[in-house]
Chains A and B, each alone.
Chain A
Amino acid sequence: MTFTLRGRIETRLFLLLTVGVVWTAIVTPFLPSPSMGSGGAGMVPMQMNRVMVSLPVAYNALPFDYRMTFETLGLMAVLGIVWELVYHFAQQYRWNKDWPPLFTLVAVIPEGIALWYVIHLTHVENGSWALASAGTAMFAIHILSTWVLIWVAMLGPMKVVSLRWRFEGGQLW
């Protein structure tokens, strides 16, 4: 199978929403959180970093680390749509009009770096902007591990989940 642009976007959103969300829920407590040193999870004042201020109280009651990882995931999904447009444009210069899995795997490097700045810009993360800072390890482990899981799902298991996905360019809807 080969992806269409729509298929790539749908696949990315679907996998972030399923594999990404479940994995983030599992892994977040084990990530090296910088907030542990400054008072522990859940101790960070609420108004400090809220992008989505209108979210229900239940969400704000989530430990700080969870709010950070899930918001990162959400931004990754939104930015991803832009990235897919870029890849699709680049793909036009390939005769086969395909996008090898290895390209998708290494895309985590530019995407991850861009995302790092975006989560600072949006105050999802309030630490240093420097690429090597207290929050980097947590961010990098979270993003990398999520990315690899999603990539593996795209290599095969998705075909089992949806036959349509296999035959219609990765489209699910």
Chain B
Amino acid sequence: MVQSHGFEIKDVPFVAIGGGIGTFAMVDFLRVAGLPVESMTVVTPALRPYSNLESQLDNSQIPRDARIRSGSGDRMDSIWGWPGYGMEEAFRRRNPLMLLRLAAEPVLSEYYTPRASQLYDTMDREAARISWNRMVVAGMARVVRKRTEGGYFVVVDPLSPGPGGSVAVLSARYVHLSLGVAAVRHFPGFEGGADPEQAKRAVNVYEAHEHVYEEIRRHPGSKVLVRGAASSSMEVLGRLIADRDSYGTAVEIFHLYHSFFDGPKGPARFRIPGGNGFCYQPFTFAKGAFGGQLHRRYGALQSDAERIDLFTKLASTAIPKRKVWTSRIERGRREGWYHTVLGAAGCLESADGGDGSGHVRAHVEPLAGTGEAERVLEVDYVIDAAGVDIDLRKHSLLADLVDCGGARLNGLGQFAVDASFEIDSMHSGNGRLFASGFATLGNPYLIPMYSFWGYHYVAWAVHRKLAEDGFVRRLGTGRSVAAWWRRMRMAEP
């Protein structure tokens, strides 16, 4: 039918849609396993595989030379993760002490974390090695549909339309989806484009909001509400406080979050460390979720409710325990310009800002059981660091898969996948549709879906399924060692 409408159809065995780090992990893995460039196409509007991540990190106050919250041993440019980022940096800086520090973490030192620039530069190198650019079709994938003969059609809206028209159609046996999040979270009642003045004053940490810091510098004594107690809020506080110290902004900070940790909480065998108001965890997920006993425990759970409960606990809103962060906040408390506000985000209203009152009124609902009344904070700016919106319906392509394609969802409203991360309800003849990242959260196999290690885990699981199908050769010990050595020499896979 598609052909009869006169579209030019290109056959590619494996199409990866997204083009961010989830796609990169997948494509890199398959290239390393021996799949040639011609067998894969990446559909992405992004210039580089880390473009999206870079803008999110930049916006959330982690510029190129700052360190990201990720360990040494899981690197985006290597399916093995060894030698790690830390070892590479130690060699580059000819600093053997760094190796000692790595060996002693996290007992005698805080965890090593790589600089964002190292992440980008090494990904550039690996992208060149696997000829990433030769696989890329610059554009937006609009629709994925089953083909009667098995496999899928992928309709692409190219960034620069070719002679064949404004739409390209790919025909693939396998499709992999890794689209990232479609939207960020805002305070309830946020009007967005309908109230441009409010949109300027109430921003999300992952969106560009440099203007907020500039305005604060221009208007000393501004009041800012920061929402969320994860590490992105710490980076925002860090920036606000650094500007306070360097430019005398005299900014007053209200920090809104759910629960105050004055110490560790929980029973002896499930006690999360905490203090200073925050809950401490070195990475986004508890370490044992990266393949360890928590990963096993999760895999053995029987119901969605149990899984969501454990997931929420292990991916809790926590920050790495860093002296520089805690001492800043202690100083703010002591000097009276940092206030902890416990509660839930109510709604947002614009105000006129006259008579020294704020420009934004943020309603804060009390926590259940405290019996307190609703509070209204009048502030000048709201910086929302309470995370992202994982609703996959915000992606029209994914919504279409659910509404018209018949893709089944799990208890968390994300795609129901099997152990190889195939959306089995979308199975089509000898073709398979795989997914990774946020759109598969709540699956019964893996917790850290949005982590470097998690993206590689999915790639490994997919590669094993493809090997079963006879599509790619399995990376057993011999082939793994040989492929690793080729990568060490930066030779083409």
Q: Please report A residues at the B interface, Cβ cutoff 8 Å.
A: 1-5, 7, 88, 91-93, 95-98, 100-103, 105, 155-157, 159-163, 166-170
Contacts and interface: CB of A to CB of B under 8 A. Distances in A.
A98 B433 CA distance: 34
Contacts of A160: 80, 82, 480-481, 484
Contact of A98 (B103, B270, B287): B287
Contacts of B104: 102
B453 interface: yes
B1 interface: no
B453 A169 contact: no
A101 B103 contact: yes
A4 B293 contact: yes
A23 to B, nearest CB: 19
Nearest to A103: B107
B83 A156 contact: yes
Nearest to A5: B293
A96 B81 contact: no
29 contacts: A1-B81, A2-B290, A2-B291, A3-B291, A4-B293, A4-B295, A7-B291, A7-B292, A93-B268, A95-B273, A95-B281, A96-B281, A96-B286, A97-B287, A97-B292, A97-B294, A100-B107, A101-B103, A156-B81, A156-B82, A156-B83, A159-B82, A160-B481, A162-B480, A163-B460, A167-B456, A167-B461, A169-B295, A170-B291
B96 interface: no
The 10 closest A-B pairs by CB, nearest first: A97-B288, A2-B292, A156-B82, A96-B287, A98-B287, A169-B291, A160-B484, A102-B107, A159-B80, A159-B82
Contacts of B287: 2, 96-98
B272 to A, nearest CB: 5
A97 B286 contact: yes
Interface string B416-428: 0000000000000
Contact of B293 (A105, A156, A169): A169
Contacts of A157: 82
Given A96-B287, A97-B286, 9 more contacts: A2-B289, A2-B294, A2-B295, A4-B293, A100-B106, A102-B108, A155-B82, A163-B460, A167-B291
Interface string B339-376: 00000000000000000000000000000000000000
B282 interface: yes
B457 interface: yes
A99 B471 CA distance: 38
Contact of B291 (A4, A93, A102, A155): A4
A2 B81 CA distance: 13
A6 to B, nearest CB: 9
Nearest to A2: B292
Contacts of A103: 107
A5 B457 CA distance: 20
Contacts of B106: 100
Given A1-B453, A5-B293, A167 B460 contact: yes
B246 interface: no
A105 B288 contact: no
B84 interface: yes
A97 to B, nearest CB: 3
Contacts of B125: none
Nearest to B82: A156
Contacts of A98: 287-288, 292
B277 interface: no
A166 B80 contact: yes
B81 A166 contact: yes
Name the residue among B79, B108, B287, B291 with the largest chain A CB count within 10 angstroms.
B291
